[in-house]
Amino acid sequence: MFLDTVVVGLLQENSYVVACEETKEAVIIDPGAEAERIYRVITFHGFTLKYLLNTHGHIDHVGGVADILEKTGVPFFMHEDDLYLLKGIEHDPLQVYLNVKPPPAPDRFLHDGDLITVGKIEFQVLHTPGHTPGSVCFLTGTILFSGDTIFSNSIGRTDLPGGNHAQLLTSIREKLLSLDDAVRIYPGHGNVTTIGSERRFNPFF
């Protein structure tokens, strides 16, 4: 499996390009800004983009969606409970600074337990509400793309509209800390960590 992290935008958001090296099919997870930089990874390696996947709908995670969709026309997947964030993006306080082109509605809404196949890679969708109502994580093998649900030694903020601190802690305990210690967490911001490290050292647990 090919995996590249492209850190983009004023908020230094982690966008991920994941590809099956055998079939050359790829996905982009959370294209938050600088769409051309992210898409250049696809073209440089000769991959074929199959889907755009979003862990949630915050402006710093969807800023590159519209441009990539205009270029490729691939299906865009997100959880329905974050649709309100896309519809309200022009009124987001950060829009003054980020100047995000509003994304279209997703082509498919994600649900807990969904399986998404990209070449020979299979992603399992884990619905982890709390940071936003529609936050999801993507699990493939021993790799977890966690969006802003959990970070190295921290968790997603819950003081924004739609956030729920108790719900976030429940999501992490039930959906993430039940995973094997060896699972590597690729978060929406900051450094890679592991389930084992967060189980032992994350101050919220």
Burial class (CB in 10 A: 0-12, 13-18, 19+), 160: middle
Q: Quick one: pLDDT at residue 68?
A: 98
Q: Quick one: pLDDT at residue 69?
A: 98
Bridge partners, 151 (sequence order): 154
User: Is the overall model pTM greater than 0.75, yes or no?
Assistant: yes
Q: Quick one: pLDDT at residue 112?
A: 98
Is residue 27 within 8 Å of 125, Cβ to Cβ? no
Output the DSSP codes for 5-34. EEEETTTTEEEEEEE-TTT-EEEEE---S-
Nearest one of 23, 26, 30, 25 to 9, comparing CA atoms: 30
Bridge partners, 78 (sequence order): 109
Q: Quick one: pLDDT at residue 118?
A: 98
Is residue 168 within 8 Å of 146, Cβ to Cβ? no
pLDDT in tens, 101-159: 999 999 999 999 999 999 999 999 999 999 999 999 999 999 999 999 999 999 999 99
pLDDT in tens, 58-71: 999 999 999 999 99
Contact partners, residue 56, CB within 8 Å, separation at least 6: 78, 79, 82, 85, 131, 132, 134, 135, 136, 147, 148
Note the CATH number of domain 2-201.
3.60.15.10
Cα radius of gyration (the chain) = 16
Coil, helix or strand for 176?
helix
The domain limits of the chain are 2-201
Please give the structure tokens belonging to residue 174.
């039930």
Read off the pLDDT of each residue in 165-177 and give the average, rounded to a whole number.
98
Please give the structure tokens belonging to residue 182.
């060896």
**Which residue in this structure is represented by tokens 């998404």?**
116
Rounded distance between C-alpha atoms, residue 134 and residue 49, angstroms: 24
Rounded distance between C-alpha atoms, residue 107 and residue 121, angstroms: 21
Task: Give the containing element (helix H, strand E) for 151.
Answer: strand 150-151
